[in-house]
Structure 1
């Protein structure tokens, strides 16, 4: 399962070259359910951006490096996660540059 997601991750996140505005952070799933969708949007936005793991998932007990290549110069984002068990999580005004990582847990 992890390999399927990592292949998708490499295709999705590494297809373009990095720029100064790209933001990298570690996404860890310590919850009991797989993350099936992960969205980020700048905190000033009214809408969620595309699913960063579209077609993949982040299984419980795994972590990945995430790259946000939206051309923005902000570090403050909102996150939305959807889980295989139907649960959702929203978290707001996160300084992902300062945090360096985000962990899901039960």
Structure 2
């Protein structure tokens, strides 16, 4: 029974310590899993904010469209000098995406035709 519990906890990224008759469960933080689409192209891209402004919204849309969809920052922001990994995969099979970033000072920057199937890092500059 203990082996089964230990195996289940490890599968969930957790460990158990049964010393002194008390069971303690701790969770370890895992690294983000990089995803790959069905066509085997990895569309994960690390976006670097090198503008000097705080990024408040970030969008990725298939190249040539103005349907920006959901803000990929969610409720967060991206401070100057910071970076984050986003997945640009809307299920269309497209590799070329347009990026739009909005900043706390009201500025908005758009970058067109980024090939997310070939580029692993994108640096947003002014």
Residue matched to 2:63: 43
The match for 2:37 is 20
Q: What is residue 100 of structure 1 aligned with on the other side? A: 120
Runs of 4+ in structure 1 over 6 Å off: none
Higher relative contact order (CA 8 A, sep 6+): 1
Matching residue of 1:90 = 110
The alpha carbon displacement at 1:45 in A equals: 2.8
Change (3 A) 1:18 1:60: same
- Relative to its length, the structure with more helix (as a share) is 1
Choose from 55, 75, 80 the match for 2:95: 75
Question: Partners in 1 of 2:35 and 2:121 — Cα distance?
Answer: 19
Q: CA RMSD in A?
A: 2.2
Larger Rg: 2
Q: Could you tell me which runs of 5 or more consecutive residues in structure 2 were left unpaired when the two chains were aligned.
A: 1-31
Instruction: Report the counterpart of residue 12 of structure 2 in structure 1.
Output: none
Question: Number of residue pairs matched?
Answer: 92
Q: Unaligned 5+ residue runs, structure 1? A: 1-13
Q: TM-score, normalised by structure 2?
A: 0.63
**Alignment deviations for residues 2-28 of structure 1 (CA, whole Å, 9 cap, x no partner):** xxxxxxxxxxxx7xx945246101110
